[in-house]
């Protein structure tokens, strides 16, 4: 697996139009759910189309800490065997560094009848409560309590229940699906998340023998089954990686073909790029983007799916620094996901924030190379896009954040003609 160098930086010479085709890998966030699901059964599970990224490496460490065997069977193919689980409680320092690791709670509760996990860490993008997860476990009949630094949930057998989720949380919905798959009777989750990564987990669980309907809507019905089995499952394409390269093509006024994407997962991005004047053609699993010298300002809102993904909000904001007029960016999923604006301003962007969830961008502004810091995986990717269009050299530090979520982003961008080096 790729090493993550905490001291690495990207050095980018801006001003080149990107051209060519780029292949999209498997979804980071769908992979994390699939890895947790492999804990549900003692059989082997084979996951295909798995990205070789830092977060997958980290999740593998979490699974191994519980006694699972996790290894690459081939490039992008992960073999997981959870035959001999020796624990129901991953070390808190591991959980503290990866929010997705909290997904082991639902899987372990089903498999072992108990699970204990510290509050999960993750990117600094706002308050990230886990009440949806915990209230759902309790509704299914688990005893849920706090013991020292961990949440502990236990139940001999869970019982299906009607659950109303206060918020359509992605990880919360995934955790509750894994808790409900073997519960006695029917579970209904109202206000469930509809994100493609939730749909992907539902598809994998169905392949393992689970009975789930409604994936992709806000109401899920899960009929508990007595047995599940291992499976072979191919991870869906990463819509956020696809979106990143589509915006990279647009911002450099280039022509980029994004291959191997799932076009249906990106309706809001495609609509907003077109509204801003970017030419977007789709066909099969390809998205072809042609940039324009006449980008127009637009208003964007990051929302639960199928709204524009919060994970693409910062990248779109960078694009809008090049658009004529005043653009409004509203972040409506997380309460503090505009921290990258400070870094963008160092590059000359005219962006002001009102509160922590709205940014107002005046453009077009020429961006200038600077030394900036990747604050999280998507903020880091957004700065790369800014650097691609900036005059002169940009150095982006803390790029281990970017490596957590993007496989070979420097190689892929170089293949499109960018000047980007890892230093
Ligand atoms: N929320 C609650 N209660 C909860 C859980 C969440 O109120 O119990 C609120 C949060 O405060 C937040 C909103 O719900 O305002 C969204 O949080 P959600 O739980 O949906 O996010 P998540 O499941 O923790 C996943 C992705 C994120 C992505 C979000 C939103 C994984 C591992 N992470 O996080 O991805 O931004 O959904 O789509 O799947 C990334 O890949 O860079 C990333 C941060």
* Across 76-97, average pLDDT: 94
Res. 356: pLDDT tops 90: yes
Find, among 403, 394, 413, the residue nearest to 12 by Cα: 394
Our CA angle for 385, 388, 394, nearest 5°, is 100
Question: Token pair of 203, please?
Answer: 């598809």
CATH label, 2-25+237-422, candidates 3.30.70.1710, 3.65.10.10, 3.10.580.10, 3.40.50.300: 3.65.10.10
Cα(334) to centroid(ligand 1), Å? 8
Cα(171) to centroid(ligand 1), Å? 6
pLDDT tens, residue by residue, 225-257: 999 999 999 999 999 999 999 999 999 999 999
Atom of ligand 1 nearest to the CA of 169: 20
Of 128, 168, 313, the residue with max ligand 1 atoms within 8 A of its CB, to mutate for a pocket test, comes to 128
Atom of ligand 1 nearest to the CA of 128: 11
pLDDT at residue number 121: 76
Ligand 1, atom 18, residue with closest C-alpha: 169
pLDDT tens, residue by residue, 268-289: 999 999 999 999 999 999 999 9
Strands across the sheet containing 114-117: 114-117, 150-154, 143-147
* Across 339-362, average pLDDT: 97
* Across 370-388, average pLDDT: 97
Domain 2-25+237-422 and domain 28-234 have a common topology: yes
Res. 3: pLDDT tops 70: no
Ligand 1, atom 37, residue with closest C-alpha: 170
Domains of the chain, by residue range, sit at 2-25+237-422, 28-234
Ligand 1, atom 4, residue with closest C-alpha: 130
Residues in the ligand 1 pocket, defined by CB under 6 Å: 28-29, 32, 99-100, 123, 126-133, 167, 169-172, 193, 195, 197, 310-311, 333-334, 377-378, 405
Q: Are strands 19-23 and 255-259 parallel, antiparallel or unpaired?
A: parallel
What share of the chain has pLDDT > 90, as a percent? 94
The rounded distance, in Å, linking the Cα atoms of 331 and 351 is 14
pLDDT band at 122 (very low <50, low <70, confident <90, very high): low
pLDDT band at 128 (very low <50, low <70, confident <90, very high): confident
Question: Token pair of 165, please?
Answer: 């989720």
pLDDT at residue number 5: 61
* Across 209-214, average pLDDT: 98
Residue 217 backbone dihedrals phi, psi, to 5 degrees: -115, 180
Atom of ligand 1 nearest to the CA of 376: 42
Burial class of residue 209 (count of CB atoms within 10 Å of its CB; 0-12, 13-18, 19+): middle
Cα(33) to centroid(ligand 1), Å? 13
Q: Is the backbone peptide bond immediately before 364 cis, with ω within 30 degrees of 0?
A: yes
pLDDT tens, residue by residue, 304-326: 999 999 999 999 999 999 999 99
Strands across the sheet containing 211-213: 162-164, 186-190, 219-223, 211-213
- Residue pair 142/153 in contact (Cβ under 8 Å)? The answer is yes
The rounded distance, in Å, linking the Cα atoms of 383 and 371 is 10
Domain 28-234, CATH 3.65.10.10 — does that match? yes
Cα(279) to centroid(ligand 1), Å? 31
Q: How far apart are the first and last CA of the chain?
A: 19
Cα(130) to centroid(ligand 1), Å? 9
């Amino acid at each position: 697996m790729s090493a993550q160098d905490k001291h690495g930086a990207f050095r980018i010479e801006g001003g080149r139009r990107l051209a060519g085709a780029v292949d999209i890998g498997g979804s980071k966030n769908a992979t994390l759910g699939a890895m947790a699901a492999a804990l549900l059964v003692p059989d082997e599970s084979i996951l295909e189309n798995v990205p070789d990224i830092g977060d997958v490496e980290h999740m593998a460490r979490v699974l191994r800490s519980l006694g699972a065997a996790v290894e690459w069977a081939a490039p992008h193919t992960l073999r997981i065997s959870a035959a001999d689980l020796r624990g129901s409680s991953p070390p808190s320092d591991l959980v503290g560094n990866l929010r997705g690791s909290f997904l082991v709670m639902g899987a372990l509760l089903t498999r072992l009848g108990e699970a204990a996990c510290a509050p999960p860490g993750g990117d600094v993008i706002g308050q990230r409560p886990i009440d949806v997860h915990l209230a759902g476990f309790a509704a299914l009949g688990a005893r849920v309590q706090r013991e020292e630094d961990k949440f502990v949930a236990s139940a001999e057998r869970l019982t299906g229940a009607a659950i109303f989720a206060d918020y359509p949380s992605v990880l919360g919905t995934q955790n509750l699906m894994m808790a409900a798959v073997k519960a006695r009777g029917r579970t209904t989750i109202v206000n469930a998340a509809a994100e493609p990564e939730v749909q992907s987990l539902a598809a994998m669980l169905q392949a393992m023998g689970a009975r789930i309907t409604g994936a992709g809507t806000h109401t899920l019905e899960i009929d508990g089954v007595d047995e599940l089995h291992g499976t072979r499952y191919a991870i869906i394409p990463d819509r956020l990686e696809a979106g990143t390269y589509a915006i990279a093509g647009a911002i450099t006024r280039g022509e980029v073909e994004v291959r191997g994407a799932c076009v249906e997962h990106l309706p809001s991005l495609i609509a907003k790029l077109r509204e801003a004047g970017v030419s977007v053609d789709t066909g099969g699993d390809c998205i072809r983007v042609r940039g324009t010298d006449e980008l127009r300002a637009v208003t964007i809102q990051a929302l639960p799916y199928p709204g524009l993904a919060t994970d693409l909000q910062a990248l779109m904001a960078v694009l809008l620094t090049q658009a004529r007029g005043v653009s409004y960016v509203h972040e409506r999923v997380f309460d503090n996901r505009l921290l990258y604006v400070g870094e963008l301003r160092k590059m000359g962007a005219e962006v002001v924030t009102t509160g922590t969830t709205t940014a107002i961008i005046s453009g077009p502004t020429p961006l200038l190379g600077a030394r900036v810091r990747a604050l999280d995986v998507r903020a880091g990717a957004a700065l790369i896009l800014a650097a691609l269009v900036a005059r002169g050299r940009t150095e982006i530090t803390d790029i281990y954040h970017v490596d957590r979520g993007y496989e070979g982003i420097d190689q892929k961008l170089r293949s499109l003609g960018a000047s980007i080096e890892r230093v």
